[in-house]
Amino acid sequence: MTDLGFPQSQGRNWGHVALRCLLFLLLGLFALFYLMPLFVMVTTSLKSLEEIRTGSLVAFPRDVTFEAWRTAWSGACTGIQCEGLRPYFWNSVILAIPAVLISTLIGALNGYVISQWKFRGANLIFSLMLFGCFIPFQVVLLPMARMLGLMGLAGTIPGLIFVHVIYGIGFTTLFFRNYYVTIPAELVKAAKVDGAGFFRIFWSIFLPLSLPIIVVTVIWQFTQIWNDFLFGVSFSQAGTQPVTVALNNIVNSTTGVKEYNVDMAAAIIAALPTLFVYVVAGNYFIRGLTAGSVKG
């Protein structure tokens, strides 16, 4: 902890109190700024459609109703089926979990090689991977569709997992490489002298040290994959569409009636898993970053 609290010698004089007040005022104002959209979303989801049409958006609901939430979860039409988001949730789960685990594992191995088992060209490969993070996904849609077709994975969940793993490698490798680079090279040398091999060292030395960065990587990947719409809409077919596509189908009607309360409830429901991960794992997240991922 960097103790930059105001030196005790100054005591509780007025200046100190005033500064502390200012500090809390600032922090509070920022908190309002960050909470405002959530406030709008939650209150809107609790209002009736009539109230939304007539009132201001930035106001508390007059009559709280959870009807919109029920509709969004199990009744809203996402096509000819009106079963809400529920059926699509599972698709997202069985897509996101393997994709996150596989891309994290690959990232860990890659980071381990690039930081501790350097060979000629390893840095070049790392740079190439890093630049891959910047490729706009719109560019890869069409050639990727063709590739998935050739591989026989078009429209399947494994196909979607494959795509997410491929385009997740850049970031996961970056995270692990930055974390492992802070571990002294002597550790690997000593282990080698003891006769441990590549995988043995990874498995029994590096992996146990990696919990913080695994948390960071998993959170990042999970957020990216869960929230993805572009790949989800392009590489799925009937029966494999993820929850973001269903959300889009609820929210984006072309010439139908717009039910904003249902839209907002659906948006919140679709975001719940990622919100949950951030709130629960948020502490580990900071700790994970502190533990070295950003020391580079």
User: Does 17 contact other proteins by CB under 8 A?
Assistant: no
Which token pair is 26? Answer: 């600032």
Distance in angstroms between the alpha carbons of the first and the last residue of the chain: 19
Residue 18 or 128 with smaller CB distance to other proteins: 128
In the list 101, 132, 187, 196, the residue contacting other proteins (rule: CB under 8 A) is 132
3-state SS assignment for residue 1? coil
In the list 141, 183, 191, 207, the residue contacting other proteins (rule: CB under 8 A) is 141
User: Does 139 contact other proteins by CB under 8 A?
Assistant: yes
CA distance 161 to 91: 11
CA distance 92 to 270: 10
Which listed range, 28-36, 67-75, 89-97, 203-211, lies at the site for other proteins (CB under 8 A)? 28-36
CA distance 274 to 251: 19
Show the binding pattern over residues 209-248: x = contacts other proteins (CB under 8 A), - = does not: --------------x---x-xx--xxxxxxx-x--xx-xx
Angle between helices 122-132 and 86-116 (to 10 degrees): 150
How many Cβ atoms from other residues are within 10 Å of residue 237's Cβ?
A: 10
Least distance in angstroms from the C-beta of 192 to other proteins: 10
User: Does 7 contact other proteins by CB under 8 A?
Assistant: yes
Binding residues for other proteins restricted to 150-179, rule: CB under 8 A: 151-156, 158-159, 161-162, 165-167, 169-171, 173-174, 178
User: Does 208 contact other proteins by CB under 8 A?
Assistant: no
| DSSP H or E segment with residue 260 | helix 260-288
